[in-house]
């Protein structure tokens, strides 16, 4: 408790000379990029800053777009993901969307007319406020708000299988008051997923091999409902209350056959599997911000959630000739979670630059109750994270810089262990403008990360005969040192980024097979390795051969070397050539996009996994307030996922899963959006989120 109080006092005491980073970002872009605003209507332009690129849009782009979301797709490192019906980064990773500095959704962005967009800020080095939540942050800056109403809906569906993406939203503004309602649904229902799994190992001097082929029916439904109320007076205060629910459930039910071998004895086994999970966490988000003069502002944010997630698995395996049961798994997991996040920040503008400071505390309590044939298990974990941060950003002639220093406390407490770690977390970003359209940037940061609930829990989960999975309650904090050297070049025809990266994680958490239960079984568990590292170069950007949107080629190529040194001293290595490409064309109201990649194996714990294959083509046609979509996903192939263990693993495993339902999947979509007046956007400085649901 003493440490909590000390950190709180430190955070409040630093308010006399500091500024919160999200405010710094928004205000910095407003005050230091006036040259961008002056050329908005004349030409499309990009200006590179130390941590972000700022894009403006020409008249042609504004006329072709129906709403702000369409403008995002013109950015060289963003694209429309047809599977989720959302904007994503071609580099992958977590994507966060802001509107005037406020955590927002794409549905909110659909309520903004293109002509009301001043510019878009693209952060490939998110400021401290968002660095732990997203790999890419995009902030849409809009014109002065006016009262009005905006609403819309869209749906995309396959004709021959269970694939539905639907969205609906409405926003109403009257004076200082704004009321918004949003609904999103993603539904999948596939009955032709085919999986082959092979386990091969030696146990107590006997050699075992299992080769299973299974076909299952699986699906999921994800629904997101949000209701928000905002009361704001520009340049004075903002109050926002938001209530949301993320309703999720999934299922999988299948049957298969397995060839089970022990030494020279082979048996034909039958298998069945039934599993599912569901949760619907409610979340209340309260936010208040108050201006204290022209250069100062204080902001408060508190987020709370309490719910129970439920998971179950029923697996059986038997000898076909005799009916004897050789594997029986009947398991239920209830995880009760309570999460609270609180943050306070104070901002101040200096003539020489921006200084920001803040204090955030995040507490997540998880109580797991597991029942299976091996017995009943109860395991509780309390995660407490405190973060005190300050950051200064400025510019001296052609040198741009952002210097940050934080103090992070991670306290993970279970019935058997307590891990209490204090870490100084510095971050430095240096940028130098080589020429008007070229820049060089260096980024270095040090950040601690906590192990997840599943990796800490000692609950035992039966996988197949002779193999279980379990967590490790003695895991400690892992700490990452990330370094990037980035070169950027842009003109009318090219937008190019070359990034040399080196990431080193001390005490990296890694999954591993070990002997278990007096050497009578194997367990897939976790350990803190000596280190893991990633080194490589990432080339991203777009080419516009005609200098417009008639033809655009986007590419992301990232040759990478991975290595992990285990506790036993074994050095695991993997090299891959990551890639994905997008070719698009726009002519008047018609647009066409083709996306493809070549899947590669990446190292993830004890396994090498391939990324999801892409081979999609889709077409959009816009007619006034309507949008019509058609396309075909996974042309000539099912979606395919491959997994295998490294040669050093005690258990040799390989698995291939094909979803044949979405092979050559033909889709149709329709959308309608309209707006009367303009939305009242809120310049919110803080946003937090509670911990995700805990499942197996």
With 60 as the cut, is the pLDDT of residue 2 above it? no
Specify whether the CB–CB gap between 534 and 480 falls below 8 A: no
pLDDT at position 163 is: 96
With 60 as the cut, is the pLDDT of residue 47 above it? yes
Burial of 623 (0-12, 13-18, 19+ CB in 10 A): exposed
Mean pLDDT of 155-171: 93
CA–CA dist 452, 189 (Å, integer): 29
pLDDT in tens, 561-605: 999 999 989 999 999 999 999 999 999 889 999 999 999 999 998
CA–CA dist 680, 230 (Å, integer): 9
Mean pLDDT of 276-287: 93
In a domain, 650, yes or no: yes
**Reported confidence tier of residue 398, pLDDT bands at 50, 70, 90:** confident
Q: Domain total for the chain?
A: 1
Burial of 481 (0-12, 13-18, 19+ CB in 10 A): middle
In a domain, 143, yes or no: yes
With 60 as the cut, is the pLDDT of residue 683 above it? no
Q: Report in angstroms the alpha-carbon separations of 561 from 56, 377, 646.
A: 36, 40, 15
- Does residue 108 sit in helix, strand or coil? helix
Residue in 49, 180, 68 with CA at minimum distance from that of residue 118: 68
Q: Which of 44-53, 381-390, 529-538, 604-613 has the lowest mean pLDDT?
A: 44-53
pLDDT in tens, 512-521: 999 999 999 9
- Does residue 3 sit in helix, strand or coil? helix
Specify whether the CB–CB gap between 141 and 161 falls below 8 A: no
Mean pLDDT of 468-492: 92
Q: Between 621 and 61, name the one with better pLDDT.
A: 621
pLDDT at position 5 is: 38
pLDDT at position 695 is: 55
pLDDT in tens, 318-347: 999 999 999 888 889 999 999 999 999 888
Cα angle: 42, vertex 43, 49; to 5 degrees: 120
pLDDT in tens, 610-627: 999 999 999 999 888 899
Q: What is the mean pLDDT of the chain?
A: 85
Q: Which of 125-129, 280-284, 515-519, 596-600 has the lowest mean pLDDT?
A: 125-129
With 70 as the cut, is the pLDDT of residue 67 above it? yes
With 50 as the cut, is the pLDDT of residue 43 above it? no
How does strand 206-233 pair with strand 177-203? antiparallel
pLDDT at position 40 is: 31
CA–CA dist 140, 182 (Å, integer): 19
Mean pLDDT of 270-295: 92
Eight-state DSSP code of residue 690:
P
Mean pLDDT of 531-535: 97
Specify whether the CB–CB gap between 389 and 14 falls below 8 A: no
How does strand 282-291 pair with strand 78-81? unpaired
Neighbours of 102 (CB within 10 A): 23
How does strand 206-233 pair with strand 265-279? unpaired
In a domain, 34, yes or no: no
Specify whether the CB–CB gap between 172 and 179 falls below 8 A: yes
Residue in 637, 597, 688, 680 with CA at minimum distance from that of residue 143: 680
pTM of the model: 0.84
pLDDT at position 211 is: 95
**Reported confidence tier of residue 556, pLDDT bands at 50, 70, 90:** very high
CA–CA dist 256, 320 (Å, integer): 11
Mean pLDDT of 363-371: 89
CATH number of 291's domain? 2.40.170.20
CA–CA dist 21, 403 (Å, integer): 11
Residue in 224, 140, 141, 145 with CA at minimum distance from that of residue 178: 145
With 80 as the cut, is the pLDDT of residue 356 above it? yes
With 90 as the cut, is the pLDDT of residue 348 above it? no
Q: Which of 91-100, 216-225, 322-331 has the lowest mean pLDDT?
A: 91-100
**Reported confidence tier of residue 188, pLDDT bands at 50, 70, 90:** very high
pLDDT at position 452 is: 84
Mean pLDDT of 603-608: 92
With 90 as the cut, is the pLDDT of residue 448 above it? yes
pLDDT at position 215 is: 97
CA–CA dist 328, 331 (Å, integer): 10
Neighbours of 407 (CB within 10 A): 17
With 50 as the cut, is the pLDDT of residue 370 above it? yes
With 80 as the cut, is the pLDDT of residue 373 above it? no
Q: Between 461 and 128, name the one with better pLDDT.
A: 461
In a domain, 15, yes or no: no
Mean pLDDT of 162-188: 91
- Does residue 116 sit in helix, strand or coil? helix
pLDDT at position 554 is: 93
Q: Which of 8-22, 160-174, 365-379, 609-623 has the lowest mean pLDDT?
A: 8-22
Specify whether the CB–CB gap between 622 and 438 falls below 8 A: no
Mean pLDDT of 235-251: 91
pLDDT at position 547 is: 87
Q: Which of 36-45, 307-316, 374-383, 536-545 has the lowest mean pLDDT?
A: 36-45
pLDDT at position 220 is: 96
In a domain, 239, yes or no: yes
pLDDT at position 465 is: 87
pLDDT at position 19 is: 30
Of all residues in the chain, the percent with pLDDT exceeding 90 is 53
pLDDT at position 694 is: 58
Of all residues in the chain, the percent with pLDDT exceeding 70 is 89
| Best mean pLDDT range from 72-76, 277-281, 488-492 | 277-281
For residue 282, list its beta bridge partners.
Answer: 245
Long-range contacts of 574-577 (CB under 8 A, 24+ apart): 574/601, 574/602, 574/603, 574/608, 574/646, 576/600, 576/601, 576/602
CA–CA dist 696, 694 (Å, integer): 7
pLDDT in tens, 10-29: 333 333 333 322 332 222 22
With 50 as the cut, is the pLDDT of residue 48 above it? yes
In a domain, 571, yes or no: yes
In a domain, 131, yes or no: yes
Host domain of residue 262: 45-451+459-497+507-677
CB burial string 356-387: b at 16+ within 10 A, e below: bbbbbbbbbbbbbbbebeeeebebebebbbbb
Q: Between 613 and 676, name the one with better pLDDT.
A: 613
In a domain, 411, yes or no: yes
Specify whether the CB–CB gap between 650 and 88 falls below 8 A: no
CA–CA dist 453, 694 (Å, integer): 7
């Amino acid at each position: 408790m003493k440490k909590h109080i000390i950190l709180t006092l430190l955070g409040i005491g630093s308010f006399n000379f500091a500024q919160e980073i999200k405010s710094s970002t928004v205000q910095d872009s407003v005050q230091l990029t006036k040259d961008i605003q002056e050329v908005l209507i004349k030409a499309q332009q990009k200006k590179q800053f130390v941590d972000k690129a700022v894009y403006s849009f020409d008249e042609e782009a504004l006329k072709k777009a129906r709403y702000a979301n369409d403008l995002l797709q013109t950015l060289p490192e963003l694209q429309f993901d047809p599977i989720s019906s959302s904007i994503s980064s071609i580099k992958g990773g977590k994507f966060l969307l802001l509107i005037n500095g406020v955590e927002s959704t794409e549905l909110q962005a659909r309520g903004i007319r293109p002509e009301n967009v001043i510019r878009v800020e693209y952060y490939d080095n998110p400021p401290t406020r968002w660095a732990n939540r997203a790999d890419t942050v995009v902030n849409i800056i809009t014109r002065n708000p006016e009262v009005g109403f905006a609403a819309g809906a869209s749906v995309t569906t396959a004709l021959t299988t269970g694939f539905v993406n639907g969205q609906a939203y409405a926003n109403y503004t009257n004076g200082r008051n704004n009321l918004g309602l949003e609904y999103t649904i993603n539904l999948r229902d596939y009955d032709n997923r085919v999986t082959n799994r092979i386990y091969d190992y030696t146990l107590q001097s006997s050699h075992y091999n299992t080769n299973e082929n299974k076909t299952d029916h699986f699906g999921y439904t994800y629904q997101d409902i949000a209701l928000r109320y905002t009361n704001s007076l520009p340049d004075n205060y903002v109050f926002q209350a938001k209530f949301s629910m993320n309703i999720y459930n999934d299922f999988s039910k299948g049957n298969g056959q397995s060839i089970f071998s022990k030494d020279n004895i082979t048996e034909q086994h039958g298998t069945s599997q039934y599993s599912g999970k569901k949760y619907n966490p409610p979340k209340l988000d309260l936010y208040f911000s108050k201006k204290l003069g022209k250069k100062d502002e204080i902001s408060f944010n508190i987020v709370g959630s309490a719910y129970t997630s439920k998971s179950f698995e029923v697996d059986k395996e038997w000898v076909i000739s005799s009916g004897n049961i050789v594997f029986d798994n009947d398991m239920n997991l209830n995880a009760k979670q309570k999460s609270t996040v609180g943050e306070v920040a104070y901002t101040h503008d200096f003539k020489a630059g921006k200084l920001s400071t803040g204090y955030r505390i995040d507490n997540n309590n998880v109580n797991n109750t597991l029942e299976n044939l091996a017995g009943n298990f109860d395991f509780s974990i309390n995660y407490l994270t405190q973060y005190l941060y300050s950051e200064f950003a400025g510019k001296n002639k052609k040198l741009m810089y952002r210097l940050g220093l934080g103090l992070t406390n991670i306290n993970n407490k279970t019935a058997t262990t307590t891990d209490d770690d204090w870490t100084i977390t510095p971050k430095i970003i240096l940028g130098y403008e080589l020429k008007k359209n070229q820049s060089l940037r260096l980024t270095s940061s040090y950040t601690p990360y906590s192990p997840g609930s599943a990796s800490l829990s000692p609950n035992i989960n039966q996988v197949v005969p002779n193999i279980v999975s379990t967590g490790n309650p003695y895991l400690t904090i892992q700490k990452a040192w990330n370094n990037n050297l980035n070169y950027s070049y842009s003109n009318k025809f090219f937008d190019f980024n070359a990034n040399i990266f080196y990431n080193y994680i001390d005490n990296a958490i890694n999954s591993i097979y070990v002997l278990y239960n007096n050497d009578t079984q194997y367990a897939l568990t976790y350990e803190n390795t000596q280190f893991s590292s990633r080194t490589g170069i990432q080339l991203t950007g777009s080419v516009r051969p005609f200098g417009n949107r008639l033809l655009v080629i986007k590419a992301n190529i990232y040759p990478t070397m991975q290595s992990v040194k285990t506790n036993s001293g074994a050095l695991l290595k993997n090299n891959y050539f990551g890639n994905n490409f997008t070719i698009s064309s726009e002519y008047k109201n018609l647009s066409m996009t083709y996306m493809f990649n070549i899947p590669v194996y990446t190292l993830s714990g004890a396994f090498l996994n391939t990324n999801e294959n892409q081979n999609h083509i889709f077409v959009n046609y816009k007619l006034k307030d309507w949008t019509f979509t058609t396309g075909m996903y996974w042309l000539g192939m099912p979606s395919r996922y491959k997994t295998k263990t490294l040669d050093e693993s005690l258990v040799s495993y390989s698995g291939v899963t094909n979803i044949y339902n979405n092979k050559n999947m033909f889709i149709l979509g329709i959308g309608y959006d309209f707006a009367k007046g303009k939305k009242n956007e809120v310049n919110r400085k803080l946003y937090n989120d509670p911990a995700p649901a805990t499942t197996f």
